[in-house]
Structure 1
Amino acid sequence: MEMQLATAETIAAIERSEVDYTEDRLLAMQEREGNPEGIELRRFGSALCLYSRTMPWPGFNTVKGLSSDDAGELDAILDFYAARGRKVQFELVPSRVDAPLLEALGDRGFIPSGHHTSMAGPPIEQPLQLPPGVVIRQAGAGDYDAYAAIHCAAFGLPASGIAPVAANNAVLHGRAGWSVWLAEVSGEPAAAAVLYEHGGVASLTFAGTMPAYRGRGLHGLLLRHRLNRAASSGCSLVAGQCAFLSASHRNMERAGLQVAYVRSTWMRRPER
């Protein structure tokens, strides 16, 4: 089965899936008692603004879903972040923005700072034969410390990050649409992956492997496992993001996903 991805409708569905899972994840964090991470979500037109008081990293202080129709909202968006003393980045989908909007960003001191690839395709059933000693299972309520340890190790974060990462992801347990999967090798947690299913779209929201277990194909196994889950759930589209030509990109291609678009990231030009 092949899917023609380069249509405005499909591109909109892929972008909407990313906005949806990001919004729902941050809402779950915001709903923790006392909102300890200081999460705020604000919409300006079609743009969703993300903010965290305790997490200054770009991923938690991002504008998603911005379109050319929102050009008149740019100053209000920038005021939202300026009032909170936070730098902001914009994630832009090529077919959703035009030259006047890009020029308006440039006039306000923003420049392209990076790119990220969105992959998509139908959830085709994948053959899945696990090597000896490898088990894939859904995470239980008591597994989020193990998940967080994988998350931190996979992305080079210090061990001090395990507790907050665990707390900010345990809120997804049992939440509608979310499933977290662990790959174990000889009983030891070795890799993890997350799936969000909503509106007929399955979003591949995270995957990571402990450095000691890389090179064993665990990323690909978890990818195919989630594709099978999406197929059995009746989803019509699978979408995920990755660095261009990364190992994740190649694994997604092997599993039948295609490049849908490459979005750009815009950040304010550094002061000299």
Structure 2
Amino acid sequence: MSAEKITTALAEFVELEANAAIVALLPATDRERYGFAVRRVGGGASLAYRDGNLHKTLGLGLTEPVTGQLIGEVIDWHREYGSTALRIQIAPEALPSNWDEICAVHGLTAGRSTVKLAGEVDAIQPGTTDLRVAPITPAQAGQWASLTSDVFGMPEPFAKAATASAGQPDFHPYAAWDGDEMVAGANLFVHGEAASLNSDATLESHRGRGAHSALITVRAQAAAAAGCRWLVAETSRPAPGDSNPSLNNMIRLGLTPLYDRQDWIWQA
């Protein structure tokens, strides 16, 4: 069966649950200190972070319809929380026919576009690298989390949550080494029959040496061992004339683009 047979709901929900699970790994004292909150709304989830601009809502429209009232509820919660900007991510098939009107009422504008991909774990092709790739140990979790957070420019609490993920049964973090130097990292989140490829990061000095491809392969093997059928991933759609190596690697190894998902931006 091809990747086109995976449902949009499954592809979106595994990403949603991965995001919510990462935030939940922070101790309550840290969630309060940094102002993290997750609210389940409209069948999806809304994430807020008081000290940053990483507020987002995803998974709407999959179990109940997207309405102007629902979007207003999401925005009101973020406004009350103190958010100054919000990304709303809705799969294209979940957008209502009056979406343009909803955007006009609530001041939403189009942002970047993300490519959603999926593939059957057994169909993933092997990626090769001259680097050593292996699961990280608990002792390496802090270094791994710092590497991935630094590459993406993520704030301190995300490194703490990523470190904690190394000890959780649903997360499977991996890294690549050049000798004794850790140069790339990635995570896998298992959720039922699907698993999310996420947190892929390679130091600029070691890009182009196959770390990303090899990390996809080893995580596909881990997903198969966990009983998953599907791998799901997302990455930025490059601008016309540009290229996204991560997207190219995913397609080359057997993931199929399912749809482009637009970000919709609200600003206070």
TM-score (norm 1): 0.86
- Report if aligned partners of 2:148, 2:201 keep a CA contact under 8 Å in 1: yes
What does residue 3 of structure 1 align with? 2
- Report if aligned partners of 1:30, 1:38 keep a CA contact under 8 Å in 2: no
Question: Does residue 66 of the first structure (1) align with residue 65 of the second (2)?
Answer: no
User: Per-residue deviation at 1:139?
Assistant: 1.6
Taking the aligned partners of 1:233 and 1:247, their CA distance within structure 2 comes to 28
Taking the aligned partners of 1:165 and 1:63, their CA distance within structure 2 comes to 17
What does residue 197 of structure 1 align with? 190
For 1:5-20, list aligned pairs within 5 A: 5=4, 10-20=7-17
Q: Where do 5+ consecutive residues of structure 1 fail to align? A: none
- Report if aligned partners of 1:65, 1:91 keep a CA contact under 8 Å in 2: yes
**Gap change, CA 1:3 and 1:37, over 3 Å in 2:** same
Question: Does residue 91 of the first structure (1) align with residue 89 of the second (2)?
Answer: yes
Q: How many residues are treated as equivalent by the alignment?
A: 258
What does residue 120 of structure 1 align with? 118
User: Per-residue deviation at 1:128?
Assistant: 5.3
- Report if aligned partners of 1:30, 1:39 keep a CA contact under 8 Å in 2: no
What does residue 141 of structure 1 align with? 138
What does residue 174 of structure 2 align with? 181
What does residue 77 of structure 2 align with? 80
Question: Which deviations, in whole Å up to 9, do the C-alpha atoms of 1:237-261 show, x marking residues without a partner?
Answer: 1000111251111000111110011
Amino acid at match of 1:146: Q
Which among 18, 21, 27 is matched to residue 18 of structure 2? 21
What does residue 104 of structure 1 align with? 102
Taking the aligned partners of 2:31 and 2:81, their CA distance within structure 1 comes to 19
User: Per-residue deviation at 1:45?
Assistant: 2.2
- Report if aligned partners of 1:94, 1:262 keep a CA contact under 8 Å in 2: yes
**Gap change, CA 1:166 and 1:173, over 3 Å in 2:** same
Among all aligned residue pairs of Structure 1 and Structure 2, give the percentage whose two residues are the same amino acid.
22
User: Per-residue deviation at 1:3?
Assistant: 0.7
Taking the aligned partners of 2:265 and 2:195, their CA distance within structure 1 comes to 29
Taking the aligned partners of 1:89 and 1:130, their CA distance within structure 2 comes to 36
User: Per-residue deviation at 1:47?
Assistant: 3.0
What does residue 211 of structure 2 align with? 218
Question: Does residue 234 of the first structure (1) align with residue 227 of the second (2)?
Answer: yes
- Report if aligned partners of 1:126, 1:227 keep a CA contact under 8 Å in 2: no
Amino acid at match of 1:209: T
Taking the aligned partners of 1:149 and 1:40, their CA distance within structure 2 comes to 22
- Report if aligned partners of 1:201, 1:237 keep a CA contact under 8 Å in 2: yes
What does residue 40 of structure 2 align with? 43
Amino acid at match of 1:66: L
User: Per-residue deviation at 1:152?
Assistant: 4.2
TM-score (norm 2): 0.88
Q: Where do 5+ consecutive residues of structure 2 fail to align? A: 239-243
User: Per-residue deviation at 1:146?
Assistant: 1.9
**Gap change, CA 1:233 and 1:258, over 3 Å in 2:** same
Q: State the secondary structure of the residue aligned to 1:239.
A: strand
Taking the aligned partners of 1:109 and 1:33, their CA distance within structure 2 comes to 33
- Report if aligned partners of 1:111, 1:269 keep a CA contact under 8 Å in 2: no
Question: Which deviations, in whole Å up to 9, do the C-alpha atoms of 1:78-100 show, x marking residues without a partner?
Answer: 11111122121211110111221
RMSD: 2.2
Question: Which deviations, in whole Å up to 9, do the C-alpha atoms of 1:189-234 show, x marking residues without a partner?
Answer: 0100000011110100110101111111111111111112212322
Taking the aligned partners of 1:84 and 1:120, their CA distance within structure 2 comes to 34
